[in-house]
Amino acid sequence: MPEDQYSAELKVALKAAEAAAKISRNYYRGNFTVTTKGDMTPVTQADVECEQAIRAVILDAFPDHGFFGEETGKTQGDAQNLWLVDPIDGTKAFVRQYPFFSTQIALMHAGEIVLGVSSGTMLDELAWAVRGSGAWLNGKRIFIGNIDDLQHAAVSTGNLKSLARSDGWARLGDLIAVSDRIRGYGDFYHYHLLASGKIDVVVESDVNILDIAALSVIVTEAGGRFTDLNGAQPTLETRSVLAANPVLHARFLSELRDFVR
């Protein structure tokens, strides 16, 4: 683990992710209740208990920090430091017992996301990054790929409902038609692949900041660009993602900008 100005926060985030992993592994094979939230998305006992565990670890170490969790909402604290947490990102996958779910923990300092931990529990993938200190996966430094020719690029997509309803849909189709391979790895996993140089572009809409805050730091620190589909840096209001190496990011942004809000 690199030593830097956020080393204490990183250690705590990794400890919190480990605590959540123990809970989600225990529930993964079933024997949990599922309810439906107001936005018609599922929530399980595991979601709630994972977030409670994460919250306890973080606020025990940093009691003055703010905390914004998917299940418990936003707690007022130090305005300079806000933890962004999705205890089980991919609850639908979790409920149906396939392994593409994760725990996402990020720290926003003075409006900038500076730290991220992404734990793909059932795939045994633990990625983290701190602003200015590189990106790491299972203890090894990772880097984004350097393919800058779309004809040789692998593109992964997810959550495209709002993009499909916009004029950007046809433009995305034109880009896909030129690309070498199109897949939909989805959720945390295609960002891990991207940051490791195994795929080249990720396009998503219909996300929220808790889904992608940690991943934005990981991809950026691996050498990529991570914005919304209009080229804006991630904020609490972010609803879409375009992530790639700088050359391919510019190519996709030129076609997709201004079509998804």
In a domain, residue 98? The reply is yes
Whether 141 is in a domain gets the answer no
Q: Can you give the pLDDT at residue 71? A: 86
22: domain CATH number?
A: 3.30.540.10
List the domain range (segments joined by +) for residue 234. Answer: 150-256
Same domain membership, residue 177 and residue 69: no
Question: Cα 234 vs. chain centroid, distance in angstroms?
Answer: 11
DSSP for 28-86? TTS---EEE-TTS-EEEHHHHHHHHHHHHHHHHH-TTEEEEETTTEEE--EEEEEEEEE
pLDDT at residue 1 in the model: 43
Query: In this structure, are 109 and 175 located in the same domain?
Result: no
User: Comparing C-alpha atoms, which of 119, 108, 142, 138 is closest to residue 223?
Assistant: 142
Single pTM value for the model:
0.93
The H-assigned helical ranges of 96-245 are: 161-164, 168-178, 189-195, 209-221
- Give yes or no: residues 42 and 129 share one domain: yes
Do 126 and 189 reside in the same domain of the chain? no
Q: Is residue 142 part of a domain?
A: no
145 part of a folded domain: no
d(CA 241, CA 122): 24
Q: Is residue 190 part of a domain?
A: yes
Tokens of 220: 């950026």
Output the tens digit of pLDDT for each of the chain's 261 residues.
445 679 999 999 999 999 999 999 988 877 777 777 666 567 788 888 999 999 999 999 999 999 999 888 787 777 799 999 999 998 777 778 888 899 999 999 999 999 999 999 999 999 999 999 999 999 999 999 999 999 999 999 998 888 888 888 999 999 999 999 999 997 899 999 999 999 999 999 999 999 999 999 999 999 999 999 999 999 999 999 999 999 999 999 999 987 766
Going by C-alpha positions, the residue among 249, 209, 211 that lies closest to residue 230 is: 249
Q: Does 38 reside within a domain?
A: yes
Judgement on whether residues 182 and 241 belong to the same structural domain of the protein:
yes
Total domains in the chain come to 2
Residues 64 and 38 in one domain: yes
Structure tokens at 204: 């998503």
Which residue type is seen at 261? R
The verdict on 121 and 156 lying in the same domain is no
Is the domain of 178 the same as that of 120?
no
Domain end point (choices 106, 133, 160): 133
| CA angle, residues 31, 83, 108, in degrees to nearest 5 | 145
Residues 48 and 114 in one domain: yes
In a domain, 160, yes or no: yes
Looking up residue 229, the CATH number of its domain turns out to be 3.40.190.80
Q: Residue 40's pLDDT is what?
A: 58
Query: What pLDDT, on a 0 to 100 scale, did the predictor assign at position 3?
Result: 53
Last residue of a domain, one of 108, 133, 158: 133
Residue 31 lies in a domain: yes
Closest to 175 measured CA to CA, from 224, 238, 216, 229: 229
Contact 89, 192 (CB under 8 A): no
Are residues 231 and 186 part of one domain?
Answer: yes
Does residue 156 share a domain with residue 116?
Answer: no
